[in-house]
Amino acid sequence: MHESAAPAPGPAERRLVRALASPWSRLTLLVLIVAGAVATVLACHPERLLSEGLPAGMPYGLAFVLFAGAYGLCTAAFVPRPVLSVAAGTLFGTQAGAVAALLGTVLGSAASFGLARLLGQRALRPLLRARWLRSADRQLSRHGFRSMLAVRLFPGVPFAAANYCAAVSRVGWGPFLLATALGSAPSTAAYVIAGSHAASPGSPAFVAAVAFIAITGLAAVLVAWRRRGRAFAAGRQRPS
């Protein structure tokens, strides 16, 4: 006995499939996923880790893995990375805290980049009409590693925003993740050290970490100020 063939989808069904697979539908799904991550983080109150510490009786290795995963989720949900790195130092100490924080940084970057590349790139690339957006896209597409390394080394650009914006460009996975790991390591280590030595703010390690954070922050402000001045001067020289 032969089974009857399934009926071909009608025009309405084909339109529905095309609408669900369209770039804007994917972008909407990306927004919903990010919003869900933000809501999850807010509901879990991760700041309690700083006041209450790790749950009693939880194995250290399991706590390490769960923290690294939660770190990645929080970065994708726009939680400031310095706060998470300070928590890593407070909970795990300098060495283990630095490893957990850097692992969470790479995991969160990969998740954000992958989601935005899969769901948002096709919808957002046609919107790159502004001159500075096209310039940033060309820079990231042609010099992905160097550009991302500079973004990671100097504070000022929100971490999650950089992940999602980089995904819209044509920078590859390898340069993006390698630049993220290398460029984020110094600032991550500084915040972890500050967190692990917060109980003794007069210690050389704490003072050195805070000094590094302050110097890099000041350098980022100076670089941004110089670039703004150059852009303003170029705008004045451009013929009307």
Model pLDDT, residue 189: 95
Higher-confidence residue: 239 or 186? Answer: 186
In a 10 Å sphere around its CB, with 0-12 CB exposed, 13-18 middle and 19+ buried, how is residue 174 labelled? exposed
Q: Please, what is the average pLDDT of the chain?
A: 79
- Quick one: average pLDDT of 28-38? 79
Question: Whole-angstrom Cα distance, residue 71 to residue 48?
Answer: 14
Spatial CB neighbours of 110, under 8 Å, sequence gap ≥ 6? 72, 177
Q: Please determine, for residue 52, whether its predicted confidence score (pLDDT) is greater than 60.
A: yes
pLDDT digits (tens, 9 = 90+) for 53-63: 777 778 989 99
Model pLDDT, residue 16: 47
Model pLDDT, residue 135: 66
183's enclosing H/E stretch is: helix 173-196
- Contact predicate 171/148, CB 8 Å: yes
Q: What are the residue boundaries of the structural domains of the chain, listed by start?
A: 12-237
Q: Please determine, for residue 215, whether its predicted confidence score (pLDDT) is greater than 70.
A: yes
Model pLDDT, residue 179: 93
Question: Whole-angstrom Cα distance, residue 36 to residue 49?
Answer: 21
- Quick one: average pLDDT of 118-137? 63
pLDDT band of residue 136 (cuts 50, 70, 90) is low
- Quick one: average pLDDT of 132-143? 69
